[in-house]
Amino acid sequence: MTPPKLVLTVIDGMKPTMLERAIAAGNAPALKAIRDRGTYVDACCAAFPSVTPVCAGVIATGRMQDEHRIPSMNWYSRAEERYVEYGSSFQASRRFGLTGQLVDTIFNMNEHHLSPDTPTIFETLDDAGVRTACTSYLIFRGRHPHEVSRDFALTRVASQLFQKRSVMGPQELFYADIFASRKTGCWSRMGIPGMRDQHAGCVGSHLVEHDLFDFLLLSLPDNDAHSHKNGPHAQIASIAAADAELWHVMEAGGGADAFLDEHAMIVMADHSHSHIERVIDFTGPYSDWKVLQPSGANQRSAEIALCPAQRSAMIYLLLEAASRDGALPKIVATAREIEGVDLVMWRSQDGRAHVAGERGELSFAPAADGPSPVADERGLSWEVDGELDALVAVIEDGVFASEHYPDALRRVWSALTCETSGDVLLSAEPAYEFPDWGNRAHVRGGSHGSLHRVDSLGALLFCGVNCPREREHGPWSLGDVAPMVLAHFGAL
């Protein structure tokens, strides 16, 4: 029996409480229809750092970054000895070079940075003969080649700028106006914030009307930009705008009831948002170190690379191996004294992960073979030592849990063991943010990236697709969605 078509909709940064208010106010009828037909989860946990590239990698592969290898929004490539910047801000992109930033985001992220050993849902479904489609999502790698569109003057310029490079994507790929697998009459004005949801709704409606997919990843990212500017409590308006585009897609299929009779739906956030009041001085405390600059001009003499990413940050040691062991404790000690830094994370020589803050220090590692005294809420086994207060955690009946830092052990371990991550990871206190390399932050607005629950727990709704048995009683994570999609099509 052929399964129903499935639409996976990602509303970037959708906060559960704001979704609930939008539905209660009557501003989100499409999302209400999905919730009323199916399941609503108000605590689907993001990766750490809870920034979009990392979380998009988890959603698109079902694997954490220790497998998919995209570690943050801004990071240092040890292989290429340079910073990678995915567009923290226009000012940051200018410092790293606009062309290089665009190439990293549009081409290198999928072609080189995303692990070739970790298949995406598009690749797996393409191999299974499922018709795949995607609108303007960071992770889109599939089995079908796409060249830069020449439909608009700017994309013709881009075609020359990118030296006529192509990408591998799903069967139908629409990425801003840069890639368009067919003419739809839809225009995104090169993907500027405020136009991206409208473009996705237009493309999605065209795909539904002309029966051009079995699986569609419908990306609605404008809620995130709206939240960064206006704060998370302004999301009711931006969720309503996203819902209007989802309703537009449903109307192309005969209206909400008819559409949901024929389509399975998953709608999810990639992370949440928290209010920002203060910035963290990240570079000042390391003024005695030779910090790699965005231009890379001091590459040969640089000792460390600093990589801010909203409410998270990473520090890479660029020293020779003989000097690293002595430098690491100094880097960690400095980080622990920085105002606004909540948690500092690193691995010791014995391979154990360490998490430290004002409340103490905790170390842990996956449990060795045999019974373990500690399991987490997802059933993974750990050896834990030190002060539980470091993560405001408790161990009850042999289960480690932290209300403040959900899924903390697995998320921190995945971040620290990702081969492209920094040597030291930082998570900001609530209301604090690390300015990017363009000195831009979101004071009086919203942001995300930390290990804390305020950034990490997003909304998830689904209907017409089976709930994994192991998740019937929670807890949920971004990585649970890709297996649901693959199982729906019998491709797991």
CA distance 169 to 216: 12
Where do the structural domains in the chain lie, given as residue ranges?
A: 5-275+452-488, 279-443
The CATH number for 5-275+452-488, chosen from 3.40.50.620, 3.30.70.380, 3.40.720.10, 3.40.50.2300, is: 3.40.720.10
Residue 468: which of 44, 37, 4, 14 has the closest Cα?
Answer: 44
What per-residue confidence (pLDDT) applies to 192?
A: 80
Least confident of 37-46, 71-80, 323-332, 468-477: 468-477
* Neighbour count for residue 237 (Cβ, 10 Å): 14
Residue-wise pLDDT tens digits, 447-471: 999 999 999 999 999 999 999 888 8
CA distance 12 to 223: 6
pTM equals 0.95
Residue-wise pLDDT tens digits, 31-55: 999 999 999 999 999 999 999 999 9
CA distance 195 to 173: 17
CA distance 44 to 428: 20
Tokens coding 44 = 């689907």
User: What is the C-alpha R_g of the chain?
Assistant: 22
Residue-wise pLDDT tens digits, 208-254: 999 999 999 999 999 999 999 999 999 999 999 999 999 999 999 99
What per-residue confidence (pLDDT) applies to 278?
A: 98
> Which H or E run contains 305?
strand 304-309
CA distance 409 to 398: 15
What per-residue confidence (pLDDT) applies to 133?
A: 98
Cβ atoms of 224 and 12 within 8 Å: the answer is: yes
CA within 13 Å, CB half, 102? 16
> Which H or E run contains 224?
helix 222-230
What per-residue confidence (pLDDT) applies to 267?
A: 98
Residue-wise pLDDT tens digits, 406-423: 999 999 999 999 999 999
CA distance 371 to 368: 8
